[in-house]
Amino acid sequence: MKTFTYARADSVEEALAALAEPGTQLMAGGTELVNWLKEGIEQPDRLVDITRLPLRGIEEAHVLRIGALTTMSEVQASPWVRRNYPVLAESLLRAASPQLRNMATIGGNLQQRTRCPYFRSDTPVPCNKREPGSGCSALSGETGGLAIFGWSEQCVATHPSDLAVALAALDATIVVRSAEGERRIPATEFHTLPGDEPARTTELRPDELIVAVELPYIAPNSFYLKVRERVSYEFAVVSAAAAVSLAGNEIASAHVALGGVAHRPWRLTAAEAALSGVAIDDKAALGRAIEQSFVDARPLAGNEYKVILAQRAAVRALMTAGGAV
């Protein structure tokens, strides 16, 4: 681990001023960053602790606003969140152990690195996310857990955040601040696709700090389904977040996002349009609607199974959200 200096910011202004200095990184819960420091993936000159900033809490109004430093445990345990946003509460519950949820923050969770086993390898191997231009070992290696949407020849990794998938399905907004003021980024656009810049993970600029997450509407008919290789806390092989509005037994509107299939949560917009008017308990019709969003799927040699698994997960999440199972 590289030697670094440590400081603590007592205000958002101090934190933003610190970001203006080259080689500075911010740290809150540290559950993500500490791993990368130990492995040499991140090598800052200075760490600035932001845990004292006034960015913690849940505001329940016409828009649900969650401060970026609110812990995952605090959000998951909120009666308001559990009653009105079950998909959000469930995504947090499935994301990590209680110990990690007690430390990890909402803003930090969203800044997790897109990764694959080669990115995390103890023995250095070609990885464009760790060393741009070195190549992508995953393309000719083990591809079972990797992307089926949005990947490029530069990188085929997936993003690990469960929370991000739920936020994408809920049309959430990520509120960020710089010295120039605030701006808002849709959750569906916050994480980047690899293209020719695989080392980049989010739309967050170097001088910006996440200050809050906002959810525009209540979604009591929602659910998060996580499929993983083992029951203990692990990244999703595939996950699905669904929120539905019903007119009797039929879907009036539906929002569906997948995790474990791309560099960012993958919103099934074509399927959402096709789901309108479909009976929530008609499993076959739901499946045909979901298929509409898989015409652009590009599975790799070892992960063709994800195409079927993801479709089934989406149908299951929809039916559960709508009370059909």
Query: Interior CA angle at 46 toward 43 and 52, to 5°?
Result: 120
Domains of the chain: 1-52 (3.30.43.10), 222-321 (3.30.390.50)
Whole-model pTM above 0.85? yes
Closest CA to 214 of 235, 190, 193, 191: 190
What count of other Cβ atoms lies within 10 Å of the Cβ of residue 282? Answer: 16
Per-residue pLDDT of the chain (325 residues; tens, 9 = 90+): 788 899 999 999 999 999 999 999 999 988 788 877 877 778 888 999 999 999 999 998 778 999 999 999 999 999 999 999 999 999 999 999 899 999 999 999 999 988 899 998 888 899 999 899 999 999 999 999 999 999 999 999 999 999 999 999 999 999 999 999 999 999 999 999 999 889 899 999 999 999 999 999 999 999 999 999 877 678 899 999 999 999 999 999 999 999 999 999 999 999 999 999 999 999 999 999 999 999 999 999 999 999 999 999 999 999 999 999 8
Taking the alpha carbons of 255, 256, 257, 259 in that order, is the dihedral positive or negative? positive
